[in-house]
């Protein structure tokens, strides 16, 4: 088992006594006697960033309000339901983008003002400034720490983060979902292939800045262990004091029914909190929901309030049913993107289950030949995704991983985020196509962060490349960046999303196949008008030329 010898005694003490871990012999063995949990930070004196703080969880007193099983679960208003939430609480906030967000409850928490402060909020993202979600609470200053996978479109939050006014712990989306699911199932920790050989493993993703924009706090290094010759990271369960979620129908016993992609985090967060509050679009009598219609049993729900705020749409994306997107090439840049997407579509075979990243990868779906059925998977909990809706088809409860409005095809299904990433990590998805900032000759991928600049977070990307032996990882990207630098490099200089994970690279100039074991690139296809010399000039990695060099259509 690999260890991190720089972990201090305090960090060893942070491990619950019922969890047995082995550490380097250079670290004395300590055991916490406390059975409560708190969040704190330590200085890692033995690391190369000795002046930085490490953030971790250790036992503290629970902050959840008391709940009486014999009392009615119905509350007159959201204000009444959140009145006894305590400062310092950890709030699990469901939703994906603005879909499924408990907006009524969030506004009620905001209404408590400065008397409710120092909150830790756990969510996929932090809402949209001036529009909705947790942005209300970050703006009010009631949240001191966020645990999220993606910052989203929130410039005010970015400024707060860089000026040291809020701590942000970034966590891969699938790992976040599984940490929450594990807490609800009573599992203290688990091992995952996600984020192996990345900054997350080393504990070097910035978590806190000072007022001058200098990093003063990082994440926690992960313990690693090998299973079957592969390395995995240990992640701990993530529980909350209070969960807030929104459901379509809720009966008076607390049984909940959700619509479409609002399932994403709602069901797992309800199970991971000491107290769960649901805002319901429709409150119905007990017995109104058929047992087969119940997505979340009432045992996990403690309080029910009426939803008084309408669901919002983060990105309203519609299609013109008469427009043929596959032939629209208004300029040279569009032609390059279409060329990449057209070639990427050839990776999508009949019957395949496929995940497409935002941007050029998503465009590939428009070039799939008629008669070829491909099942598109969106990591927020949708399989069988259709095109963007017309104005008449728009549904606020139906969005893709980019928070854009979409439709579903016959045979589609929806599920929560833990189920979604189980599909992904488990290798049940045939092909994953992503964009890139850099790709190396050995198949390393960097696509989420440029040091020195604000980065949005990794979202689900680290999970999508976590099982490359089962799920083929394809990169679809322009050959050079806006500054003219090559995206195809010998070794990545940017932080990795995944190591030795990419099998095929498709650019506007050519196609490379990657030998991940030998760390070699092979040029197999070239675009019309492109020469081998052109490719060499624009590529910062060495490559071999395939025996049958084909024309890229």
Q: How does pLDDT run across 42-53, given as a tens digit for each residue? A: 344 334 444 455
Q: How many CA atoms lie within 13 A of 161 on its CB side?
A: 24
Counting Cα atoms < 13 Å in the Cβ hemisphere of 175 gives 31
Could you tell me which residue, 37 or 234, shows the higher pLDDT?
234
Residue 54 inside a domain? The answer is no
φ/ψ region of 516 (left if φ > 0, alpha if ψ in -120 to 50, else beta) reads alpha
Q: Are residues 383 and 481 in the same domain?
A: yes
Q: What is the side-by-side order of every strand in the sheet holding 375-378?
A: 408-414, 382-385, 375-378, 353-356, 431-434, 472-476, 504-506, 510-515, 520-526, 544-551
Closest CA to 265 of 417, 414, 415: 417
What's the domain count of the chain?
2
Q: Which residues contact 7 (CB under 8 A, 6 or more apart)?
A: 23, 27, 44, 221
DSSP per residue, 433-476? EE--SEEETT--EE-S--TTS-----TTHHHHTS-TTTSEEEEE
pLDDT, position 130? 85
* Chosen domain end from 242, 272, 306: 306
265 and 343: one domain? Answer: no
Q: Is the pLDDT of residue 22 over 90?
A: no
Residue carrying the six token digits 């779906």 = 365
- pLDDT confidence bin for 518, thresholds 50/70/90: very high
Please list the residues that pair with 236 across neighbouring strands. 189
Structural domain contains residue 336: yes
Of 306, 324, 350, which residue sits at a domain end?
A: 306
Task: Supply 132's token pair.
Answer: 């909705």
Over residues 171-182, mean pLDDT: 98
Q: How far apart are CA 273 and CA 263, in angstroms?
A: 16
Contact 207, 166 (CB under 8 A): no
Q: Are both 207 and 290 inside the same structural domain?
A: yes
Q: What is the CA radius of gyration of the chain?
A: 24
Strands 520-526 and 510-515: antiparallel
Q: Is the pTM of this model over 0.75?
A: yes
Query: Looking at the domain assignment, is residue 367 inside a domain?
Result: yes
Angle, CA 498 vertex, CA 24 and CA 194 arms, to 5°: 60
Asked if residue 430 has pLDDT above 60, the reply is yes
Q: What is the pLDDT of residue 58?
A: 44
Please report the pLDDT score of residue 329 as a whole number. 60
Q: Does residue 97 form part of some domain?
A: yes
Angle between helix 173-184 and 263-272 (nearest 10)? 40
One domain, residues 498 and 351: yes
Q: CB of 339 within 8 A of CB of 508?
A: yes
DSSP tag of 178: H
The per-residue pLDDT of the chain, averaged, comes to: 88
Q: 103 and 219 in one domain?
A: yes
Neighbours of 312 (CB within 10 A): 17
Residue 544 lies in a domain: yes
CA–CA distance from 79 to each of 106, 112, 113, 162 (Å)? 10, 8, 12, 32
In this predicted structure, which of 58-72, 190-204, 377-391 has the lowest mean pLDDT?
Answer: 58-72
Q: Are residues 114 and 174 in the same domain?
A: yes
Residue of 330, 317, 327, 344 lying closest to 478 (CA atoms): 344
More confidently predicted of 265 and 12: 265
Q: Are residues 136 and 198 in the same domain?
A: yes
Strand pairing partners for 230?
227
Average pLDDT over residues 307-312: 94
Q: Using one digit for the tens of pLDDT, what is the confidence trace for 185-240?
A: 999 999 999 999 999 999 999 999 999 889 999 999 999 999 999 999 999 999 99
Q: Are 86 and 206 members of one domain?
A: yes
Q: State whether 416 and 464 are in the same domain.
A: yes
For residue 33, is pLDDT > 60? no
Q: What is the pLDDT of residues 470-480, one digit of tens each?
A: 999 999 999 99
Q: Which of 141, 156, 145 is nearest to 122 (CA)?
A: 145
CA–CA dist 5, 191 (Å, integer) = 19
Share of the chain above pLDDT 90, in %: 78
Burial profile 535-547: b = 16 or more Cβ within 10 angstroms, e = fewer: beebbbbebeeee
Q: Are residues 425 and 289 in the same domain?
A: no
Domain stops at, among 306, 340, 355: 306
365 and 255, same domain (yes or no)? no
Q: Which residue has the tokens 């599984």?
A: 178
Give, as one character, the DSSP assignment of residue 507. -
Rounded to an integer, what distance in angstroms lies between the CA atom of residue 469 and that of residue 244? 38
> Phi first, then psi: what are they for 245, rounded to 5°?
-145, 170
Dist. CA 42–CA 10, nearest whole Å:
7
Give the pLDDT score at 38.
38
CATH code at 519?
Answer: 3.40.1080.10
**By 3-state DSSP, what share of the chain in percent is helix, strand and coil, each rounded to 5?**
20, 30, 50
The residues annotated with a catalytic role in the active site are 379
Q: Which domain holds residue 101?
A: 78-306
C-alpha separations of 44 from 9, 20, 51, 126, 208 in Å: 10, 22, 7, 29, 15
Q: Which residues contact 121 (CB under 8 A, 6 or more apart)?
A: 90, 91, 93, 134, 137, 143, 145, 146, 147
> Is residue 475 in a domain?
yes
The pLDDT of residue 53 is 58
Examine residue 226 and state whether it is found in any structural domain, yes or no.
Answer: yes
Write out pLDDT tens, residues 107-121. Answer: 999 999 999 999 999
DSSP character for 145? E
Q: How does pLDDT run across 447-473, given as a tens digit for each residue?
A: 998 887 767 889 999 999 999 999 999
Angstrom distance (rounded) from CA 110 to CA 130: 14
> For residue range 246-304, what is the model confidence (pLDDT) as tens digits?
999 999 999 999 999 999 999 999 999 999 999 999 999 999 999 999 999 999 999 99
Length of the chain: 553
Element (H, E) at 362: helix 360-363
Structure tokens at 502: 């990419």
Say if residue 413 is in the same domain as residue 277.
Answer: no
- Residue 485 domain-assigned (yes or no): yes
Q: Is 124 helix (H, G, I), strand (E, B) or coil?
A: coil
Q: What is the DSSP letter of 85?
A: P
């Amino acid at each position: 088992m690999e260890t991190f010898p720089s972990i201090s005694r305090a960090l060893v003490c942070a491990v619950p006594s019922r969890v047995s871990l082995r550490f380097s012999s250079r670290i004395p063995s300590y055991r916490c006697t406390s059975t409560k949990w708190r969040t704190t930070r330590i200085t890692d004196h033995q690391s190369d960033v000795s002046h930085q703080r490490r953030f971790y969880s250790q036992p503290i007193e629970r902050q959840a309000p008391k709940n009486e099983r014999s009392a009615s679960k119905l509350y007159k208003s959201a204000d009444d339901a959140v009145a006894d939430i305590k400062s310092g609480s950890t709030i699990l906030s469901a939703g994906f983008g603005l879909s499924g967000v408990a907006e009524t409850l969030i506004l009620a928490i905001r209404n408590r003002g400065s008397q409710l402060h120092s909150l830790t909020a756990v969510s996929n993202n932090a809402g949209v400034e001036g529009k909705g979600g947790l942005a209300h609470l970050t703006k009010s200053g009631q949240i001191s720490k966020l645990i999220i996978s993606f910052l989203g479109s929130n410039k005010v939050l970015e400024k707060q983060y860089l000026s040291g006014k809020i701590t942000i712990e970034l966590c891969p989306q699938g790992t976040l979902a599984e940490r929450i699911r594990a807490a609800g199932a009573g599992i203290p920790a688990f091992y995952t292939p996600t984020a192996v050989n990345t900054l997350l493993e080393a504990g070097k993703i910035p978590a806190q800045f000072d007022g001058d924009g200098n990093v003063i706090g990082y994440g926690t290094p992960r313990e690693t262990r090998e299973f079957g010759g592969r390395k995995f990271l240990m992640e701990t369960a993530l529980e909350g004091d209070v969960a807030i979620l929104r459901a379509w129908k809720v009966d008076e016993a607390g049984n909940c029914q959700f619509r479409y992609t609002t399932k994403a985090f709602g069901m797992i967060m309800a199970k991971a909190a000491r107290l769960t509050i649901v805002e319901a679009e429709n409150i119905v009598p007990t017995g109104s929901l058929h047992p087969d219609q119940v997505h979340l049993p009432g045992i996990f729900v403690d309080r029910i309030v009426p939803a008084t705020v309408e669901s919002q749409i983060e990105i309203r994306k519609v299609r013109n049913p008469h427009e043929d997107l596959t032939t629209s090439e208004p300029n040279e840049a569009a032609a390059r993107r279409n060329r990449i997407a057209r070639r990427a579509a050839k990776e999508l075979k009949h019957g395949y289950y496929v995940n497409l990243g935002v941007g050029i990868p998503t465009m590939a779906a428009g070039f799939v030949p008629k008669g070829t059925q491909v099942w598109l998977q969106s990591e927020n909990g949708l399989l069988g995704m259709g095109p963007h809706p017309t104005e008449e088809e728009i549904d606020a409860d139906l969005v893709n991983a980019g928070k854009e409005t979409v439709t579903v095809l016959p045979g589609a299904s929806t599920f929560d985020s833990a189920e979604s990433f189980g599909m992904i990590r488990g290798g049940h998805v045939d092909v994953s196509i992503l964009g890139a900032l850099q790709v190396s000759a050995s198949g390393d991928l960097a696509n989420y962060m440029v040091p020195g600049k604000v980065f949005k977070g990794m979202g689900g990307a680290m999970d999508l490349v976590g099982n490359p032996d089962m799920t083929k990882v394809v990169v679809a990207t322009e050959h050079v960046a806006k500054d003219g630098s090559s995206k195809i490099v010998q070794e990545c200089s940017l932080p990795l999303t995944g190591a030795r994970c990419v099998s095929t690279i498709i650019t506007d100039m050519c196609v490379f196949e990657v030998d991940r074991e030998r760390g070699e690139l092979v040029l197999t296809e070239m675009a019309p008008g492109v020469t081998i010399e052109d490719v060499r000039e624009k590529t910062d990695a060495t490559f071999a030329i395939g025996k049958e060099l084909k024309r890229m259509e």
